[in-house]
Amino acid sequence: MSQSTPELTKPSPRKVVLPRELHPVAWWVWALGMAAAASMTTNPWILLTIVAVAAIVVEFRRGDAPWALSFGFYLWFGLIIVVIRVVFRIIFGGAMGPDDPVLFSLPSIPLPEVARGIELLGDVTLGSVLAGLYDGMRLAALIICVGAANSLANPRQLLASIPPALYEVGTALVVALSVFPQLADSVKRVTKARRLRGEPGKGVSATRRIVIPVLEDALERSMTLAASMDSRGYGRAGDTPLRDRWLTGTLMIVAMLGLAVGSYGFLDGTAPRILAWPMLGIGVLFAVASMWAAGKRVKRTRYRTIRWQFGEYSAVGSGLAVAIGLKFAGAEHVGVMYPPVDSWPELLPVVILIPLIGALPAILTPPALRDEDTMEDE
Amino acid sequence: MNIVELNDVSFAYDDSGPTILTDVNLALLEGELVLVSGRTGSGKSTLLRMFNGLVPHFSGGTLRGDIVLKGESIVGKPPRELADFVGFVPQDPLSSFVGSTVEEELAYGMEQLGLDQQTMRRRVEETLDLLGIAHLRRRSVRALSGGQQQRVAIGAVLTTHPKLLVLDEPTSALDPMAAEDVLATISRLTQDLALTVVIAEHRMERVVPFVDRIAIVENGRVRIGDPADLLIESPVAPPIVELGRLAGWRPLPLSVRDARSQSRANPLTLGKPEPRATHTGERALSARDIVVQYGTKVAVNRVDLNLNRGEVLALMGRNGCGKSSLMWALQGTGRRTGGTVDVDGDDPADLKADEARLLVGLVPQTAADLLYLESVADECAAADQHAGAEAGTTRALLDRLAPGIEQQKHPRDLSEGQRLSLVLAIVLSAEPEVVLLDEPTRGLDYPAKHALAEMLADLAHRKHAIMVSTHDVEFVAQVADRAIVMADGDIVSQGLAADVLAESPAFAPQVSKILGPEWLTIEQVQAARESGASDA
């Protein structure tokens, strides 16, 4: 269009997608959906698709924070799991059936009388190796999906989004997150310093030379931190009326009673059924109510919370879609979901296409914030 | 208007024990900057922590009397209820951080107060600008330099809009330039925000020019008044004040500018400064091409260095310029990527730790890392055993360095200076030829620093070769024969201490700023005065 009219120069009504951090809960729901899907099958094609989808989304949407770089580690971890599974199958052997083809034979080691029936090594059959491989791949895919969530979601933001009543627990975790690197520094420093007093030696006294200064250091730091948090208003009671505190307390006690009786009824089969699920339900209900009541009186706010927008809903939606879709599709094609080990696993378009829905967040979510000098630790 | 009043306040940790502070009466005005000074252990920190209830709520103990904030008694109120009125910045900012990034840290206090999102966002932006740290907003607080961390810590309490800001030794760990920055920021806050600031600081020479009043804590009593009046008899005083006392200048000059004009009006009649007695002996350590590299970062870049018996070499430079890395590399325990060190024909890095410490001893920056036993006596005995020395050797060394430390005291209960002496004694028990000290002046007051200077002079006299890294130019002027300045891993300046200090305005001690480059310390001036008096 050569002629420019005022209408054309106006910004288009389509929303611009700006880079931002996606709500960590959204990433977790997406990843758990993928993991749930992975747990429903041992078909290597489906599992590979799921892992590939997770890898694509991570590659497209991770930031450059330290936790974002952990995905490669999870991939390696998955590979190791698969290898271990297969090696175990080889060691403990056992054919899957009478006509299971033998791949190769190893000298067998019979175990003593006590463990009769177990034979180490021996004939290695295709079926047992494949079973180990499929099983290992399923576990690996699960772990890789969780790893994807870990690399995509900001752990601190995740802690920030827990309900206000659990704020104290969240704070403890945040503090632990920052204390661990400090503790590691401290250990490194003391280990180096003790050489200045001569050869470190071995045994209890040598350990003591590290442990005592490190613990003293840690104790001092935590006292400083506690004092600092207190001076900055942590744990302010504000002005809660007595009535509200009573309400929270009562709700909490009823919830505890309900949960205790309910779990007893649930575990003891001879107890009247009325004590099981109904009591558990009441307990949970009151627990939620007491948390709500406790949260209501908390006079605390959150800085820069992440609003749920289209990106978040698309991630959650696609994750759930994969899990639910595969559940239904799998019910109709059990043979595809759990392929027999004596034939080539079947490749059915519909069950391969469903996991691909999980790749949508790679396009639909906003790109991650990338800043060369953001979050560089050390 | 009085922001805070202390009326007849006394404090003791336990009822039968000694009182830390006795009958303190104090009233702070809006927008004034008050320096709290006193010797280590005089109760400065206790006084500071009373303003927001950390004493007695966090420390335990009994507080008598009344503390009034904005017309309301705060006795019995915990610190958290005062968070919107008093901002408290503890000594070590890093261990007080709760958030992980600068922005989170600034918002933390406001989150606790329950401010709404918009207010929080606005105040964070204002504070980032006020302190000049907007470019650091997303950085991890752990990755910042000391001066930046200090400014973030100040910002973190400013966002709750307190009326009173309390700072415990905000510049003690900083190099001179970073310290100036932080102090200039603080002084601007008193002017821009009419904030009342209470600050405790050992290195008074940096703060005194900025303050309105000074509170001196001595023997549990607190005197407050005009700095020029009070410093005449203060137990701790910066060199400029000591010079003013010596010369009898009234009113006492507090800044270099004042002192110069006083010096023009009533010049000190001085002869020539006595040349410094140098007792340099043969070569003790020679290092060639020392390189220390961490990943891609070059901490020490091809440094050549000689150290002679009987001399004290000062190593200066801003935080993170490679001073510590160089020291650790010379000792042989730390990382060394390249280069050689020669002490009596041996390279300490090739030796076992037991043998290396016979050649080169190092007192690390956090000296307490070396201590792990329950009493001074145990530590000394263990050191004797390790060094294969006669029983009692370490204790004798300790008594020479810092006499009269109780045998049964826990090392953690010692004062900063005493603990340093204990670690130094342990290091010296192996009789190393070369002694390296990394930032030993941290947390020492003037008398303790003076004692350390004498200790080092004594060691040099016994033909040890000594290298000491420090930010404290006054200390360098007092103790060093030669000085080296490092920047970004390189040696940028080296030579006689007097020359190096005179070369750069950032490193010039106060006495030379006033009397000229040939004068470095009060002691010199004093000696010249005495000899001048005896001549006359």
Q: Are residues B339 and B240 in the same domain?
A: no
* Model pLDDT, residue A169: 74
Confidence of residue A11 (pLDDT cuts 50, 70, 90): low
Residue closest to A47 by CA, chosen among A62, A30, A64, A35: A35
**In the beta sheet, which residues pair with residue B312?**
B466
- ipTM confidence: 0.86
**In the beta sheet, which residues pair with residue B483?**
B314, B495
- B524 inside domain: no
pLDDT, tens digit, for every residue of B69-98? 888 899 888 898 899 999 999 888 888 888
d(CA B412, CA A212): 11
pLDDT of residue A378 exceeding 80: no
Predicted structure pTM score:
0.79
Q: Are residues B255 and B287 in the same domain?
A: no
Task: Determine the distance from the C-alpha atom of residue B414 to the mean position of all C-alpha atoms in its chain, rounded to a whole number.
Answer: 17
pLDDT of residue A333 exceeding 70: yes
* Model pLDDT, residue A355: 87
Residue with tokens 């060639």: B288
Confidence of residue A239 (pLDDT cuts 50, 70, 90): low
Of A199, A234, A235, the CB nearest to B353: A199
Q: Are residues B239 and B352 in the same domain?
A: no
Higher pLDDT, A96 or A195: A195
Q: Are A156 and B124 an interchain contact pair (Cβ–Cβ within 8 Å)?
A: no
Q: Are residues B469 and B366 in the same domain?
A: yes
* Model pLDDT, residue A373: 43
- B500 inside domain: yes
Distances (CA, A) of B13 to A60, A115, A205, B58: 59, 68, 34, 11
* Model pLDDT, residue A3: 47
Higher pLDDT, A120 or A79: A79
Mean pLDDT by 10 residues, chain B (536 residues): 90 86 92 90 88 88 90 88 92 84 91 90 92 88 86 93 92 83 88 91 86 92 91 87 88 89 84 71 91 90 92 90 92 90 91 89 89 90 88 89 86 85 91 92 84 90 93 90 92 90 85 88 86 60
Q: Are A227 and B143 an interchain contact pair (Cβ–Cβ within 8 Å)?
A: no
Q: Are residues B353 and B455 in the same domain?
A: yes
CATH of residue B425's domain is 3.40.50.300
Q: Are B117 and A304 an interchain contact pair (Cβ–Cβ within 8 Å)?
A: yes
Q: How many domains is chain B built from? A: 2
Q: Are residues B296 and B228 in the same domain?
A: no
- B15 inside domain: no
B85 touches chain A (CB under 8 A): no
pLDDT of residue A252 exceeding 50: yes
Confidence of residue A14 (pLDDT cuts 50, 70, 90): low
pLDDT of residue A375 exceeding 70: no
Q: Are A32 and A149 in contact (CB under 8 A)?
A: yes
Confidence of residue A371 (pLDDT cuts 50, 70, 90): low
Q: Are residues B423 and B481 in the same domain?
A: yes
Nearest CA distance, A186 vs chain B (angstrom):
9
Q: Which domain holds residue B388?
A: 283-504
Confidence of residue A29 (pLDDT cuts 50, 70, 90): very high
pLDDT of residue A109 exceeding 70: yes
Mean pLDDT of all residues in A44-60: 91
Domain ranges of chain A: 24-157+307-364, 162-231, 242-296
pLDDT, tens digit, for every residue of A118-156? 677 777 778 888 888 998 999 999 999 999 998 888 777
pLDDT, tens digit, for every residue of B175-215? 888 888 889 889 888 888 889 999 998 888 888 988 999 99
Q: Are B112 and A194 an interchain contact pair (Cβ–Cβ within 8 Å)?
A: no
- B42 inside domain: yes
Q: Are A176 and B335 in contact (CB under 8 A)?
A: no
* Model pLDDT, residue A13: 55
pLDDT, tens digit, for every residue of A154-171? 777 777 777 766 777 777
Q: Are residues B219 and B89 in the same domain?
A: yes
Of A216, A220, A375, the CB nearest to B101: A375
Write out the H or E segment, with its range, that includes residue B34: strand B33-37
Is A366 strand, coil or helix?
A: coil
Q: Are residues B187 and B301 in the same domain?
A: no
- B357 inside domain: yes
Residue closest to B364 by CA, chosen among B410, B388, B400, B330: B330
pLDDT, tens digit, for every residue of A186-236? 888 888 888 888 776 777 777 888 888 888 888 888 888 888 888 988 877
pLDDT of residue A6 exceeding 70: no
Q: Are A198 and B353 an interchain contact pair (Cβ–Cβ within 8 Å)?
A: yes
pLDDT of residue A377 exceeding 50: no
Q: Residue B278 has which token pair?
A: 């140098």
Q: Are residues B310 and B188 in the same domain?
A: no
- B25 inside domain: no
Q: Which of A20, A230, A305, A378 to mutate to test the interface with B (most CBs of B within 10 A)?
A: A230
* Model pLDDT, residue B28: 93
